[in-house]
Structure 1
Amino acid sequence: MLTVISASVAPRTGAEPRSPGPIPQVAQGKGTEAGGGNPSGIYSAIISRNFPIIGVKEKTFEQLHKKCLEKQVLYVDPEFPPDETSLFYSQKFPIQFIWKRPPEICENPRFIIGGANRTDICQGDLGDCWFLAAIACLTLNKRLLFRVIPHDQSFTENYAGIFHFQFWRYGDWVDVVIDDCLPTYNNELVFTKSNHHNEFWSALLEKAYAKLHGSYEALKGGNTTEAMEDFTGGVTEFFEIKDAPRDMYKIMKKAIERGSLMGCSIDTIVPVQYETRMACGLVKGHAYSVTGLEEALYKGEKVKLVRLRNPWGQVEWNGSWSDSWKNWSFVDKNEKARLQHQVTEDGEFWMSYDDFIYHFTKLEICNLTADALESDRLQTWTVSVNEGRWVRGCSAGGCRNFPDTFWTNPQYRLKLLEEDDDPDESEVICSFLVALMQKNRRKDRKLGANLFTIGFAIYEVPKEMHGNKQHLQKDFFLYNASKARSKTYINMREVSERFRLPPSEYVIVPSTYEPHQEGEFILRVFSEKRNLSEEVENTISVDRPVKKKKTKPIIFVSDRANSNKELGVDQESEEGKDKTSPDKQAKSPQSEPGSADQESEEQQQFGNIFRQIAGDDMEICADELKNILNRVVNKHKDLKTQGFTLESCRSMIALMDTDGSGRLNLQEFHHLWKKIKAWQKIFKHYDTDQSGTINSYEMRNAVNDAGFHLNNQLYDIITMRYADRSMNIDLDSFICCLLRLEGMFRAFNAFDKDGDGIIKLNVLEWLQLTMYA
């Protein structure tokens, strides 16, 4: 019996902006409906035709900075201009913000005052507490902090109104350049600010992050770990505190010691309760930073404590161990000094670990490396990164609940080669962590994109299939259970899970919960020992390999046609026969595939129709071919089709035309019909509901049955090119696709004189090849 997969919804923190300041209430504009389609379109499978043919390398921060100094001008960012387009995309404020540079806001502006620390971060009127909580954690690790925030920036020396910050983006570190214009109201910063009126590093960091995602509004609502990973390139683990392991405090303590970043929150189901303060002083639906763990001596007993920070810079816990807790008088003054206790409204406070696990619901830990938190020794893990995408109609198969399409999802082979070095472990086990991250969903919010509900499953590959990189088919998943999988499918940017499995070969299948959802992702695998991880890709090939002959360079249509003749119009046809003249064909029945008494009824029918339409020259053009094919096809009542289009018939002639005349004779026509009949049989096999169409997800197998073996990128392109809006492919499109494939394989083989799989074409040859196909 199939296991039913369930999905859950991830609560966001800071989904609604806090509004304590003087800014009037926002007038909510009509937002774009949140949809599942990928705004970037079907795809990066093809190089965008909007890209310039000759690209200009983007200028670096140093180049832009130098240019501004030479021209004595202040930088204005053309990609993220100081206007409304950089602020919001679905709402409009009734008042106008004034964009100002720090020297226009205050005297003696400073980038950083006395070192960047967590008290420099105060949330403004934007619901990005999750981002600010991550910044507070980042300040605890100066090495990481100054990778994100290059320290050689100031408002005094070589000031040119230009700053830059660095973020990890899906496997790469990117440098984000901005100007220093910031939105203000009544000469006060609207969004993130520092406790120091003249300190601006946190406000500029927020602006750079907003540019990375397209607007300030794109930062509303999220999970702290998303920003943590963008600051570090680390991998995140989530803990539901109610289900936390017994040694959770030890895990947190070791994470702090390793420099891992931690955040926590109190979930709320009701949207109106986002960022609402409870009687104890804590805020629901709000992100906090975990900034320290200690054990304090109180009345002769050790008490476990957790230090947290509210990114608002105010509103603190008011229970035991809070700043104003009356029992601090019973704590030794040396303990007070060690815990840095002071009664200040700065958003930071201590609370007991027991109170922490009672009130908070979620803990997020971002490991800078995938060090095993349950181990007492630091371990070095190996990492592999794979990029992929789900394509509607081709490789967006949904989860295991959809067996007809699940198998079409991208597949990644994982070879666990060596077991862990653990003297206390009796089993032969490999420890590894899988992290699936969807890309660009936040940036594409303005186009209607939301986070998909995602997860993954892991299957063991049978020994007889080890080393075979073929895409596993539907039957495999129908009769084999997964060895491991993500705990749940959830609408978060990244889903990660730790596993322990014996050395073997496995396949990881990442997917969205629902099928037909289109998007890009990266799949990272961390393991204690050596592993190999790669996408399952079929080798591009075609059945019935042709014999290669040395030919002249193919330039003209006739030369290209000669190559068709040399490669063989059809392996089943008579080889070595020259194409006879139309006159001889008309007079000589021996030149036809068979004499009249040997022809089948269908062949006789074709011959009669052909002679009626072809005329004296016994050759037909595309219009005439369309007429013949549709007259015959319409008599096949079991075929639900509207016939062949003129464009399909032109493709057929281009494929079968062996003399470059642009027309077909009777022999060529018979060879064509043999192909159409064979492909028609494949089509009917996959048209299980006899609707006259096949589902685009089945196109992979149908094309394979026709003898063409392609990789995932080519299947994506075929879906884009030949499927209709309902992701179905009719007979005409199916035949047209196979004609194009056969023609392109044939042409490639003609040009590939060395047989090394590489061809070199000049522009004339390229145009010749693409225009007559």
Structure 2
Amino acid sequence: MMVSLVIIPKLTSSEVMALSYFSIKQDLISDCSFVASLAVSVQYEKKFNKHLVTSIIYPQNNKGEPVYNPCGKYMVRFHLNGVWRKVIIDDYLPVDRHNRLLCSATTNKNEIWVSLLEKAYMKVMGGYDFPGSNSTVDLHALTGWIPELLTLHHSDTPFDKDKEFDRMFERFHLGHVLITVATPTLSTEDEERSGLVSSHAYALLDMRKISGHKLIMLKNPWSHLEWKGNFSDHDSTNWTPELVKALNYDPKLQVDIDNGVFWIDYNSLCKCYSKFNFYLNWNPSLFDYTTVIHNTWSARQGPVKDLYNLGDNPQYCLRINCKKKASVWVLLTRHITERQDFAVNRVFITLFVYKNGGHRQ
């Protein structure tokens, strides 16, 4: 049943700007990656006092902050299929027979921005029966920030866990990167023992290095169920007075509160969960030179002939005149034209890179 949420009075700028990742909560829709993306974006806005997701909701006041529309019509700006696009929605939201919201929202009944953003994204992605995604895709749509997947243990590339933590730690506190993490497939026994959810996205809210420990603060989009291992609320061994003071954390108080926010040590992730992934989205302002190319390529023509000849595939030549060492990032974005494009992922794209003017060696 669909009814208008007349119980929610306004979407004023003061209410939207009173952002809190604690209050964001996923409900029935299987979009943990999207809700985790919202949480890290909110944390970024509060920490660096810069608009990120609140600036993509319209109408807005003269400060660029979203405001309530008494007509019930809103526009959300997403970065989709390579460009910024507008998505028009109304304020009708799914509820049960007791008028309880069935979509993601905040615990503050005066805020509907989470529900509006989710509705707009679900409209683009085929509806509320969302099959799931990953946070780099969702964050790229929300912010336009450049995605990177970091796998803890890769068969081809050795993983330097300390180097990667230091890289994320430095850039995270500079505001250069938004980070979410995803658990691998876990058995029911592992879920019960660890407190982690199988194949689930978590928002990374903080990173600390204290007394030789590397700690990460995560939020479960469900706003409940927390880590039970080292540095959990029930861990009476590792929580020293020094750590408690440095993090302004009271384990005894947290034992009675299950809000889905918890600390976990980086070493536990690396040791116990070999397929644990970090999803990183980088601020586009870090890239001094950017070129965007849009092209079409018939899937019927290219992949069918790939076994015999790559000549039918799009080919480009990149020339760089640089006097010092530099990195080149190439982002491939396959356009979503129907729901099956991401629900089943039946078509993929691959990049082949050749040096020496593109000649094979």
* Fold equivalence (TM over 0.5): yes
Identify the range of structure 1 (315-324 vs 339-348) with the bigger mean alpha-carbon deviation: 339-348
The aligned residue for residue 316 of structure 2 is 412
1:77-476 equivalent positions in 2, closer than 5 A:
98-103=1-6, 106=7, 108=9, 110=11, 112=15, 115-142=18-45, 143-150=51-58, 152=61, 153-155=66-68, 159-185=70-96, 186-217=98-129, 219-242=130-153, 243-245=158-160, 246-259=162-175, 260-268=177-185, 277-296=191-210, 301-327=211-237, 330-332=240-242, 334-337=245-248, 343=254, 344-360=257-273, 361-369=276-284, 371=286, 380-392=287-299, 394-396=301-303, 399=306, 402=307, 404-420=308-324, 429-440=325-336, 443-445=338-340, 450-462=345-357
C-alpha displacement of 1:202: 0.8
C-alpha displacement of 1:101: 2.1
- Amino acid aligned to 2:330: V
Distance 1:340 1:114 in 2: 27
Q: Does structure 1 retain, via aligned residues, the 8 Å contact 2:94–2:101?
A: yes
C-alpha displacement of 1:237: 1.5
C-alpha displacement of 1:446: 8.6
Q: Does structure 1 retain, via aligned residues, the 8 Å contact 2:8–2:112?
A: no
- Amino acid aligned to 1:257: H
Deviation per residue, 1:581-601 (Å, 9 max, x gap): xxxxxxxxxxxxxxxxxxxxx
- Amino acid aligned to 1:263: T
Distance 1:393 1:283 in 2: 39
Identify the range of structure 1 (220-229 vs 109-118) with the bigger mean alpha-carbon deviation: 109-118
Q: Does structure 2 retain, via aligned residues, the 8 Å contact 1:397–1:405?
A: no
Is the partner of 1:364 in helix, strand or coil? strand
Is the partner of 2:171 in helix, strand or coil? helix
Q: Does structure 1 retain, via aligned residues, the 8 Å contact 2:8–2:111?
A: no
- TM-score, length basis structure 1: 0.40
Q: Does structure 1 retain, via aligned residues, the 8 Å contact 2:336–2:342?
A: no
1:728-743 equivalent positions in 2, closer than 5 A:
none
C-alpha displacement of 1:133: 0.9
Distance 1:278 1:454 in 2: 38
Is the partner of 2:168 in helix, strand or coil? helix
Query: Would the alpha carbon gap of residues 335 and 444 (structure 1) be closer, same or farther in structure 2, given more than 3 Å must change?
Result: same
- Amino acid aligned to 1:386: I
Q: Does structure 1 retain, via aligned residues, the 8 Å contact 2:57–2:74?
A: no
Q: Does structure 1 retain, via aligned residues, the 8 Å contact 2:150–2:279?
A: yes
RMSD of aligned C-alpha atoms?
2.9
Higher RCO by CA contacts (8 Å cutoff, separation 6 or greater): 2
Query: Would the alpha carbon gap of residues 134 and 109 (structure 1) be closer, same or farther in structure 2, given more than 3 Å must change?
Result: same
Is the partner of 2:25 in helix, strand or coil? coil
Distance 1:212 1:387 in 2: 20
Distance 2:315 2:217 in 1: 43
Distance 1:408 1:329 in 2: 60
C-alpha displacement of 1:358: 2.5
Distance 2:234 2:10 in 1: 34
C-alpha displacement of 1:127: 1.2
Distance 1:280 1:394 in 2: 48
Distance 1:448 1:348 in 2: 29
Question: What stretches of structure 2 of length at least 5 have no aligned partner?
Answer: 46-50
Taking only the aligned residue pairs, the percentage that are identical comes to 23
- TM-score, length basis structure 2: 0.83
Distance 1:397 1:417 in 2: 36
Query: Would the alpha carbon gap of residues 328 and 308 (structure 1) be closer, same or farther in structure 2, given more than 3 Å must change?
Result: same
Q: Does structure 1 retain, via aligned residues, the 8 Å contact 2:191–2:198?
A: yes
Query: Would the alpha carbon gap of residues 392 and 304 (structure 1) be closer, same or farther in structure 2, given more than 3 Å must change?
Result: closer
- Amino acid aligned to 1:144: L
Q: Does structure 2 retain, via aligned residues, the 8 Å contact 1:278–1:284?
A: no
C-alpha displacement of 1:198: 4.1
Distance 1:117 1:382 in 2: 34
Query: Would the alpha carbon gap of residues 284 and 359 (structure 1) be closer, same or farther in structure 2, given more than 3 Å must change?
Result: farther
Give the total of aligned pairs: 336
Q: Does structure 2 retain, via aligned residues, the 8 Å contact 1:397–1:406?
A: no
Distance 1:204 1:265 in 2: 25
Q: Does structure 2 retain, via aligned residues, the 8 Å contact 1:164–1:175?
A: yes
C-alpha displacement of 1:131: 0.9
Distance 2:117 2:272 in 1: 31
Is the partner of 1:454 in helix, strand or coil? coil
Distance 1:203 1:121 in 2: 10
Deviation per residue, 1:559-617 (Å, 9 max, x gap): xxxxxxxxxxxxxxxxxxxxxxxxxxxxxxxxxxxxxxxxxxxxxxxxxxxxxxxxxxx
C-alpha displacement of 1:410: 0.8
The aligned residue for residue 48 of structure 2 is none
Q: Does structure 1 retain, via aligned residues, the 8 Å contact 2:81–2:334?
A: no
Distance 1:132 1:223 in 2: 11
Query: Would the alpha carbon gap of residues 336 and 177 (structure 1) be closer, same or farther in structure 2, given more than 3 Å must change?
Result: same
Distance 1:129 1:200 in 2: 18
Is the partner of 1:228 in helix, strand or coil? helix
1:47-86 equivalent positions in 2, closer than 5 A:
none
Q: Does structure 2 retain, via aligned residues, the 8 Å contact 1:313–1:348?
A: yes
Query: Would the alpha carbon gap of residues 445 and 302 (structure 1) be closer, same or farther in structure 2, given more than 3 Å must change?
Result: same
Q: Does structure 1 retain, via aligned residues, the 8 Å contact 2:131–2:343?
A: no
Deviation per residue, 1:324-356 (Å, 9 max, x gap): 33247632453242x587512111111112113
Is the partner of 1:264 in helix, strand or coil? strand
